[in-house]
Amino acid sequence: MSSRERILGRVRRALAGVPEDGTPYERAVARGYLREHGRRTTGQTVDLLAENLADYRAIVHRSDAAGLAGLVARLLAARGASSVLVPPGLDEDWLASTEVTRVADRAESTPGELDRVDSVVTACALAVAETGTIVLDGSPDQGRRRITLVPDHHICVVRVPDQVVASVPQALERLDPARPLTWISGPSATSDIELDRVEGVHGPRTLEVVLVG
């Protein structure tokens, strides 16, 4: 008997005498919480996102569509990047102004190979203003989860205002729970018992977010 079968068996025995509850899932849990905190215009919501991203030590940039390729090229150059990971569905125009070597998102890539890449550029599924969170869902313009966890530098492009929501409840309504969701609030960081902060432990040490209007 496997550990899984053992655990499920114990759950079945524990529930054997419990009467069934026919309450529909939608009404089983009270959901009277606020859908967002305060009322904001679209511009104020985007400003709040930028403020909270920066509070988490992400580096925030703003651009229009025409200036995006030039900005991405400057960010890669400032980083000294000689290679960049590119998801298969990324808009080719975003990298049109850079000569950095492009590395494809391949299933057979090893962690060591990914670790040798300097930067990764992706889009996102959406961004949550109240929490300063970027959400990736593995779509073609974002690639596999691991390409945003191994390289030390991540440039993430957020289309505003279409991809910006105010709150987590609003985000959950737009996300597909069957997809591999990655929620990112700032660069990877942790701290020990003395609160010494260490960045880059289980993800990029540097997160740059480009808000494209």
- 132: CATH: 3.40.50.10420
pLDDT of residue 1: 82
Residue 28 is assigned to a structural domain of this protein: no
Residue 12 is assigned to a structural domain of this protein: no
Could you tell me the maximum CA-CA distance found in the chain, to the nearest angstrom? 67
Burial class (CB in 10 A: 0-12, 13-18, 19+), 183: middle
Residue 51 is assigned to a structural domain of this protein: yes
Residue 168 is assigned to a structural domain of this protein: yes
Q: Report the predicted TM-score, pTM, of the whole model to 2 decimal places.
A: 0.83
pLDDT of residue 195: 73
Residue 105 is assigned to a structural domain of this protein: yes
Residue 33 is assigned to a structural domain of this protein: no
**What H or E segment, with its residue span, contains residue 134?**
strand 133-136
Range of the domain at 164: 39-212
Residue 15 is assigned to a structural domain of this protein: no
Q: Give 10-residue mean pLDDT values along the chain (213 residues).
A: 92 88 80 84 96 95 97 97 97 95 94 94 98 97 94 96 96 94 85 73 88 96
Length reported for the chain: 213
pLDDT of residue 200: 65
**pLDDT for 188-199, tens place per residue?**
777 777 777 777
Among the listed residues 177, 171, 200, 172, the one whose alpha carbon sits nearest the alpha carbon of residue 187: 200
Contacts of 5 (CB under 8 A, 6+ apart): none
Mean of all residue pLDDT scores within the chain: 92
Phi, then psi, of 48 in degrees rounded to 5: -65, -40
pLDDT of residue 45: 97
Residue 14 is assigned to a structural domain of this protein: no
Count how many domains the chain has. 1
8 A C-beta contact, residue 87 and residue 105:
yes
